[in-house]
Amino acid sequence: MRFWHIARSVLSNWFATVATLAVGFFLQPFVVHHLGDLSYGIWVLTVSTIGYLVMLDLGMTNSLLRYISKGHAVQNHESSSDSLSAVLWVRLQISALILVLTAAIAIEFPRFFKVPPALGREAREAVLIIGLATAITMTFGVFGATLSALNRYDLRTYVTLAQLTIRMAGVIFVLRSGYGIVAIALCELVAACVGNVMLFYLSRAIYPELTVRLVKPKWEVLRSIWSYSSYAFLLTIAVQLVYQSDNMVVGAFISASAVTFYSIGNTLCRYTQQLVNSMTNIFCPVASTFEAAGNLSALRTLYINGTRATLVLSLPIVTTLIIRGHTFIGLWMGAEYAAQSGVVLAILATALLFSLQNLTAGSIALGVGKHKTVAWWAVGEGIANLTLSIVLVRRFGIRGVAIGTLLPSLVVQVIFWPRYVCQLTDVSFLEVYRSIWAPIFLCTLPFMIATYLVDTMSAPRNVIIFILQTSALLPIFAVAVAFTFRDSVRRQLFPRVRSFLSAHAN
């Protein structure tokens, strides 16, 4: 039943992610047009800047995923309780530090990003509110990590839906009432409070053996957590450098208004990555469970099938963004955004094309505690990204920032990851190329050609027609994948489906 347990978690995570993306997709044009390019750019900079404070987690979320999943698997509830209590004790102090740093950021924010004086007070207040929401989430995030460690992503979905409802209803109401980014920040704060309280009660209900102790933890527990989380912390730094620094570079070196044009293309790439992450994040606690049981063959199978599933899910989306992204942005946000944001999207989606194929391996590396090398390479990529973006933005504008993200990503994904994957999973590069990458990329070629022809010969009049056109092309890719992997489907999927149906029929 392990297959169906993973499938349930993936489907639950997908549902939550699709709901999140749908709300973001429909809200973003509404928010941009109500706030205007300048105010929306300031809002993006607010979220991006405070987003850096997430690094103060120090990688402890990943530690909880590993130690609670392992403790639960071997029924060592005392170990799980020690890990949870230690991380909560540290996070309470981090949350206090976040509040202090938020106040300092609020003071300097308008000057650093050249915010007009008329909007300075509003920007500062929004920073303070988002900082408070971040501090609350930092404290209560341990309970969300507990649900993830137990693969109860279905419960996390309920929390996500509640937060989305509050956020969506609140944002629509305040913007229609004529309020601005401070009111939006308050909606985020309310959603954070409700969601984190729900996480607390759900985690206590699903794992009653878990004991929370608000006392200073034992040194050996902290040392064990830090030995794992230190490199996860480096990964967090790298993620922030890659995904948050671009908006800040644009805001600091061009203007707050230019952030809006950059963030539109960047947001579509982040939506795609969130969709794929909703599946690959499941693999981290699963890999920890396999390692605890000494089931190395299952880890190898998890990598092969997980990477195949990741590529099958992501390649049609990414290739559509590269080929038709400018068309979609023009229909979605307005013709005035199509040219600049479309180029940014094509560049960033190309980087995404190469990085998605290694997400499964990255989750497995975290799950089995072999992420040290990954962390250092990721930090190198993040530093190179920030440096190149600062250099290229002066000459090429927002396109230069996107190129600064693309080049380091290509180096890491093409040079580092193939070699590391072979060491991690004991699968030869030739097998990875022959059984995963090459066949799936070949399956994508007919879809890519058809997508290009449709975009050049049949321009859609609105977003609905665009979506219908893309949906009509998907069977081309699906048939190619089904034909290429027909033996694997027949040997692995069909028997599991028959077994599942027989068990439930009885």
Q: What is the SS3 assignment for 145-205?
A: HHHHHCCCHHHHHHHHHHHHHHHHHHHHHHHHCCCCHHHHHHHHHHHHHHHHHHHHHHHHH
Enumerate residues 6+ apart whose C-beta is below 8 A from 118: none
3-state secondary structure 229-278: HHHHHHHHHHHHHHHCHHHHHHHHHCCHHHHHHHHHHHHHHHHHHHHHHH
50, 502, 504 from 497: Cα distances, Å = 46, 9, 11
Taking all residues of the chain, what is their mean pLDDT, rounded to a whole number?
84
Euclidean distance between CA atoms 183 and 16, whole angstroms = 25
Separation between Cα atoms, residue 412 and residue 297, nearest integer Å: 27
Could you list the beta-strand ranges (E) of 25-175.
Answer: none
Q: pLDDT confidence of 497, banded at 50, 70, 90?
A: very low
Matching residue, tokens 């915010």: 115
pLDDT digits (tens, 9 = 90+) for 156-215: 888 989 999 999 999 999 999 999 999 999 999 999 999 999 999 998 888 888 888 877
Query: Is 114 or 129 the better-scoring residue by pLDDT?
Result: 129
pLDDT at 126 over 90: yes
Tokens of 2: 């392990």
Amino acid at 462: N
**Best-predicted range by mean pLDDT (6-10, 290-294, 464-468):** 464-468
Residue 144 has pLDDT above 60, yes or no: yes
Q: Which tokens hold the place of 60? A: 């402890």
Residue 352 structure tokens: 């995404």
Containing 54, the helix (H) or strand (E) segment is none
What type of residue sits at position 225? I
In this prediction the pTM is 0.74
Q: Residue 501 burial by CB count (10 A; 0-12/13-18/19+): exposed, middle or buried?
A: exposed
Answer with the residue of higher pLDDT: 209 or 101: 101
Asked whether the CA dihedral 451, 452, 455, 458 is positive or negative, the reply is negative
Count of CB atoms within 10 A of residue 111's CB?
9
Q: By percentage, how much of the chain surpasses pLDDT 70?
A: 93
How is the chain split into domains, by residue range?
Answer: 1-243, 251-439
- Among 498, 487, 485, smallest CA distance to 309 is for 485
pLDDT band at 504 (very low <50, low <70, confident <90, very high): very low
Could you tell me where the DSSP H helices lie in 356-462? 359-367, 372-396, 398-411, 417-425, 429-432, 438-457
Taking each continuous run of H as one helix and of E as one strand, the counts in the chain are 21, 0
pLDDT at 446 over 90: yes
Tokens of 82: 């020690």
Question: Looking up tokens 């321009």, which residue turns up?
Answer: 459
Query: CA 215 to CA 156: how far, in whole Å?
Result: 27
